[in-house]
Structure 1
Amino acid sequence: MKPLPKRAALVVNAKSRKGRDLYQRAQALLIQNGIELIATEGVRDPAQLRPTIQRLLESDPPMIIVGGGDGTLSSTVDDFVPHETVFALLPLGTANSFARTLGIPLDLEGAVEVIATGERRRIDLGMIDKDYFANCAAIGMSPLIAETVPHNLKRWLGRVGYFGWAAWQFTRFRPFKLTVGNETVDAVEVRIANGRYHGGTELVEDAEVDSGEIIVQAVLGDARHRLLWSWAASILKLKGRERNVREFHGVELRISTDPPLPISIDGEVLAHTPVTAHVAPGIIEVAAPRSTPPD
């Protein structure tokens, strides 16, 4: 086991759902658990998040702890790629899919304990063209929701508000044609997965962050109710939940849709089809729970 550094910078997205409330608490817990904070930044303007991390990375700190939701985390992983700095996370968002994939507790105390007692883990990142992402990109309902959901709805109502908004947007949604490589299918949703979780639910069970491959999972069908069945079956772990999905595995996969559609990358709309999805194997180190219990 390669231990984690004991010196770190802390950067929290103070506009994430929990960030503003938990920024001070996170500092106190990290210090109590033996982490020396060499810099702390509570970023209120999301546009300043990446510049803040880029500035900190110029001095190559041993570890940077980033607090926020999946969109925050995914928008910052690109900057860690050319550095040896360990990427640690505090899950302060709504779905926290990347934290779930890594096995990091969703409560602040548990996440801090991982940073204090866990280990380094080298992981893959997914890529949409030249844009790195941590966990999952999606085509279909997810971009439609991400483009329209009011920020304060997520902040005050959390997952309940998020799923309520999703139900309303469902009435606007239409199935589409998906082409992966040379194969075309009718689809109601596409998940481009580096990790197993999307929207806080385990959907792509074969995806691993250190597998060296990307998975494109298509929910098949030409009617909206197929998407409802897929999500319900995955949430409830029903038998036969894989019957209406098709998976494509590879290091690099070309993806197009008819009509062209937006792509949400860890919750933020950042691309449009057609794109090439591929994997960047073992490209960053993250703070992860111990693979073996302490002596």
Structure 2
Amino acid sequence: METTTLPKDAILVVNAHSRRGQDNFDQAREKLEAAGVRLIAAHAVKDPEQMAATVRQAIDSGAPMVIVGGGDGSMSSTVDEFVGKDCVFALLPLGTANSFARTLGLPLDLDGAVRAIATGRRRRVDLGMIDRDYFVNAASLGLSPMIGQTVPHKLKRYLGRIGYLVWAAKCSVGFRPFRLTIDDGTQEHRLWSTEVRILNGPYHGGVELSDHAAVDTGEIVVQAVVGRSKPRLAWDWYAKFFKLRDRDAHTLEFHGQAFRIDTHPPQRISIDGEVLARTPVMVKIAPGAIEVAVAAGA
């Protein structure tokens, strides 16, 4: 019989380079142990490139649960290690946008996140895929990868989401629209676009962008901001941020299990905040790929 109870033994791996990782590592360790989570080991990883290897070692050691602390990039870079493994993926949202934590309904404060891990339950969720790379929440192409690739770390660290907005205004000056082709296996859709979001959950950049994307539907959502107008793209983010009635006026959504996406000219792709791919790509859903820790009432 499958259990929904979370393990009490775990290994903690924190990205000490994330916005709040270094400051909160000691607190997280103390609070988890005080809440009844028995930490087999705890690692503060100062080089983000070593996050995946550290998590892999933790899983291979037989830990029943690995707690990953960091931002969405940390979650995305380590989630591949959990696929096909009997290990629960728990997260401490210590980044800027924390979109995956928002998608799972997790508290964004440290005390709340610790409480969810100590008293919550396990839940099986989907993952998105860009070619063979798994991601937890969202990928995008257009202006967002340009921002993610060039935004200064200190601006992101100290201003959070406001820092992204400031840098977005700077990057938009040199940005150009592109021709987009979405092939769902039966039909090709061709249109002009300024941004494309590939969504496994509703949030991207900490903003709820879709009413239909979720981690348990067995489908991926491709959302395109249509047309060639950069002011229209800015309006789309504004309308979705403030949940205006006409917030979907300038977007088209495509729902399915797999799509081929191509652009002219080729576009870089940001995967959970990290620029890791380039069009053309295959995007698809991996249904029920991993088990995650969620709050008891989520």
TM-score by length of 1: 0.97
What SS does the corresponding residue of 2:253 show, helix, strand or coil?
strand
5+ long unaligned stretches in structure 2: none
Question: 200, 208, 214: which is aligned to 1:202?
Answer: 208
Match of 1:66 among 47, 65, 68: 68
2:294 matched to which residue of 1?
288
- Report the Cα distance in structure 1 between the residues aligned to 2:99 and 2:77, rounded to whole angstroms: 14
Off by >2 Å, runs of 4+ in structure 1: none
**Conserved 8 A contact 1:178-1:257:** yes
**Aligned partner of 1:279: which letter?**
I
* Match 1:261 to one of 249, 259, 267: 267
* Kept in 1: contact 2:161–2:205 (CA 8 A): no
Which residue of structure 2 aligns with residue 183 of structure 1?
189
Alignment of 1:75-90 (within 5 A): 75-90=77-92
In structure 1, what is the equivalent of residue 227 of structure 2?
Answer: 221
The aligned length equals 292
Deviation at 1:55, TM superposition (A): 1.0
Q: Distance in 1 between matches of 2:190 and 2:145?
A: 21
Q: Secondary structure, in 3 states, of the residue corresponding to 1:65?
A: strand
Task: Tell me, yes or no, if the aligned pair for 2:31 and 2:114 is still in contact at 8 Å.
Answer: yes
Give deviations 1:143-200, integer Å, cap 9, x for gaps.
0011101112211222222221111111121111111011101111100000000000
Secondary structure of the 1:146 match is helix
Cα distance in 1 for partners of 2:37, 2:117 equals 8
1:24 partnered with 2:26: yes
Query: Which has the higher mean CA deviation after the structures are superposed, 282-291 or 4-13?
Result: 282-291
For 2:235, the aligned partner's letter is W
Q: Which residue of 2 aligns with 1:172?
A: 174
SS in 2 for 1:204: coil
Work out the CA distance in 2 between the residues paired with 1:75 and 1:50. 6
| Amino acid paired to 1:166 | A
Counterpart of 1:111? 113
Aligned equivalents of 2:263 and 2:232: distance in 1? 18
Note if contact 1:215-1:249 (Cα within 8 Å) is conserved in structure 2: yes
Cα deviation, residue 60, structure 1: 2.4
Please state how far the C-alpha of 1:33 moved relative to its aligned partner.
0.5
Kept in 2, the 8 Å contact 1:60–1:83? The answer is no
Percent of aligned positions that are identical: 58
Cα offset for 1:281? 0.2
Report the RMSD for the aligned CA atoms in angstroms: 1.0
Identify the match of residue 97 of structure 1 among 93, 96, 99.
99
